[in-house]
């Protein structure tokens, strides 16, 4: 939308003036104003281009800003010379502070964009970036127990991120990696034997054994049988949560039984990247093969990523991991390099820990001790929409408290209820009156109306931002702010005015655009948009 066009015009000027002098063209940005007001002294968009360029060109930043401004607003001197596109929608450009360029969008441009959305001519999900084949792996909890509330955070995050990436045209494969081999599965089998009192040779009960009612229900089952039962339960829980997967990738079947770990080991040996120390084989600071010749989890992970990058040829691989994998990120990046893969093609997102809070106190949880809140329990307690919202409203790199009492509350204090109610209110208004085919949007002149228009038009830029940095919480925050702007508009302006039919038609059109935009946002988040509440 406007931001992209402003950036493109500045880029042309920088290239024309500064590149000719050997100056840089990168490193500056155009940012959207985050103010909730329709018009602020800093404008709708601001750029630091002049400050960045002035520093590198050893010039006064305000003078550079003035030069860019004059080029932007310059009228053609001949018929063959074209004006810059920004002249179509910029009301004015101001220089502020040490040299910031502030852009003010005209009212007519805002209403024209709104008209395009109403006619479905403006795609809110368009992207100028190349369309990629993306592998998005998330949840991937070991099949050693039911999915817990902690697994929910990465599950909802990955599902919503996949929705957004697909919406802009990327081909996304949602994948669950089943860690059905190795020490965790061995521990599961021993845990079942311990619960039965049948440990071999009366072996000691280890602290790391899994406990709880679900282990007792697995009595008499082998480790493999238990994995199948638990994995079936995991799939049922994910279905209840509305979390979908295209591929269930088994470590045992897809890697170990096919000899893929050995193949990757041979590849690393051929590239002379492995070092022998103490009878073990090391890749950098990570063990690939133990001194007893047992393959490590790291080697299995390398084989898994070799399958993704080399065999299945994904352009980008995104892994969503729990906080306990934080120290593993750099190791995997180096592992990608060892496979001759550009580490930039591997994006690892770490989901920080979650605390469940009820009545102001933390509810203690431990999967290994058998004391935990399952995903199923959480959904029964607060419902799917509230669970999704509360996990998606926070950045993944922040620790979060899940307020159980607030999530259950059906009032304006609960953010998901507040947004859903705004959508239902818009639907209610539209049942009373419908906008005509050609509403006169120029009649919208009130500050509350333009604040709402601006917020509606920001969705495409929010989606663009998320596809760049994968920060899904931007969308929950945006939808909530849109609901706030609509509520403010509704409370201060009468939508249906029997004495002014033209104004009524214009405002109904604005309500219709709001309703569609809230619904679009909630759909991407996987949250329902009820028409009545």
Domains in the chain: boundaries: 2-105, 138-255+352-408, 415-525
CATH 3.30.2270.10 fits domain 2-105: no
- DSSP code, position 366: B
- Nearest CA to 231 out of 144, 153, 314, 291 is that of 144
Residue 275: beta bridge partners? 282
For residue 101, what are the CA distances in angstroms to 10, 81, 84, 458? 10, 24, 16, 20
Sheet hosting strand 280-283, strand order edge to edge: 274-277, 280-283, 286-289
The fourth-level CATH superfamily of domain 415-525 is Isoleucyl-tRNA Synthetase; Domain 1 (1.10.730.10)
Tell me what pLDDT residue 25 has: 53
Q: What is the pTM of this model?
A: 0.92
Q: Which of 3.40.50.300, 3.40.50.720, 2.60.120.260, 3.40.50.620 is the CATH number of 138-255+352-408?
A: 3.40.50.620
Tell me what pLDDT residue 159 has: 98
Q: Which residues 6+ apart lie within 8 Å of 514 measured at CB?
A: 426, 452, 456, 482, 486
Asked if 6 and 68 count as a contact pair (C-beta separation under 8 A), the reply is no
Instruction: Give me the average pLDDT of each 10-residue run along the chain (533 residues).
Output: 88 77 68 80 91 86 93 70 69 93 93 87 64 97 92 96 96 97 91 86 78 90 95 97 97 97 97 95 95 95 98 98 91 96 97 90 64 87 96 95 93 96 97 85 94 94 94 98 97 91 95 95 98 94
Q: Three-class SS string for 171-194? A: EEEEEEEECCCCHHHHHHHHHHHH
Tell me what pLDDT residue 130 has: 82
Q: Cα 353 from chain centroid?
A: 17
């Amino acid at each position: 939308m406007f931001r992209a066009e402003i950036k493109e015009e500045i880029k042309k000027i920088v290239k024309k003036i500064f590149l000719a002098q050997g100056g840089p063209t990168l490193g500056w940005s155009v940012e959207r104003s985050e103010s909730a007001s329709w018009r602020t002294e800093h404008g709708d968009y601001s750029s630091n281009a002049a400050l960045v360029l002035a520093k590198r060109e050893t010039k006064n930043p305000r003078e550079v800003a003035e030069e860019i401004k004059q080029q932007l607003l310059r009228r053609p001197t001949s018929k063959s010379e074209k004006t810059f596109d920004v002249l179509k929608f910029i009301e004015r450009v101001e220089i502020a502070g040490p040299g910031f360029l502030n852009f003010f969008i005209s009212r007519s441009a805002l209403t024209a964009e709104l008209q395009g959305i109403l006619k479905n001519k403006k795609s809110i999900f368009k992207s100028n970036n190349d369309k990629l084949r993306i592998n998005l792996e998330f949840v991937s909890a070991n099949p050693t127990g039911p999915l817990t509330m902690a697994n929910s955070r990465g599950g909802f995050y990955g599902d919503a991120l996949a929705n957004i990436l697909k919406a802009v045209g990327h081909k996304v494969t949602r994948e669950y990696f089943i860690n059905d081999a190795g020490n965790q599965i061995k521990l599961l089998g021993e845990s079942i034997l311990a619960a039965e009192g049948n440990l071999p040779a009366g072996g000691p009960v280890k602290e790391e054994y899994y406990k709880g009612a679900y282990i007792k229900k697995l009595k008499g089952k082998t480790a493999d049988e238990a994995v199948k039962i638990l994995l079936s339960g995991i799939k049922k829980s994910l279905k209840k949560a509305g979390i979908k997967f295209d591929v269930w990738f088994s470590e045992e079947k897809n890697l170990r039984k096919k000899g893929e770990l050995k193949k990757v080991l041979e590849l690393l040996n051929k590239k002379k990247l492995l070092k022998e120390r103490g009878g073990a084989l090391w890749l950098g600071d990570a063990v690939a093969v133990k001194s007893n010749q047992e393959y490590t989890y790291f080697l299995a992970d390398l084989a898994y990523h070799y399958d993704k990058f080399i065999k299945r040829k994904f352009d980008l691989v995104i892994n969503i991991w729990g906080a306990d994998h934080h120290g593993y990120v750099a190791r995997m990046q180096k592992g990608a390099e060892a496979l001759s893969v550009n580490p930039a093609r591997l994006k690892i997102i770490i989901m920080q820990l979650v605390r469940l809070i009820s009545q102001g106190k933390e509810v203690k949880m431990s999967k290994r001790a058998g004391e935990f809140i399952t995903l199923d329990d959480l959904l029964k307690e607060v419902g799917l929409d509230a669970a999704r919202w509360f996990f998606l409203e926070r950045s993944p790199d922040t620790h979060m408290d899940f307020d159980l009492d607030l999530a259950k509350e059906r009032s304006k204090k609960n953010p998901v209820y507040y947004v859903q109610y705004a959508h239902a209110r818009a639907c209610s208004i539209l049942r009373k009156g419908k906008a005509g085919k050609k509403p006169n949007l120029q009649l919208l002149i009130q500050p509350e109306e333009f604040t709402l228009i601006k917020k509606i038009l920001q969705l495409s830029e929010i989606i663009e931002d998320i596809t760049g940095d994968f920060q899904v919480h931007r969308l929950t925050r945006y939808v909530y702010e849109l609901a706030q702007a609509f509520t403010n508009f509704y409370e201060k302006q009468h939508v249906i005015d029997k004495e002014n039919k033209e104004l009524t038609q214009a405002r109904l059109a604005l309500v219709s655009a709001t309703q569609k935009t809230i619904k679009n946002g909630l759909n991407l988040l996987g949250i329902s948009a009820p028409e009545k509440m």
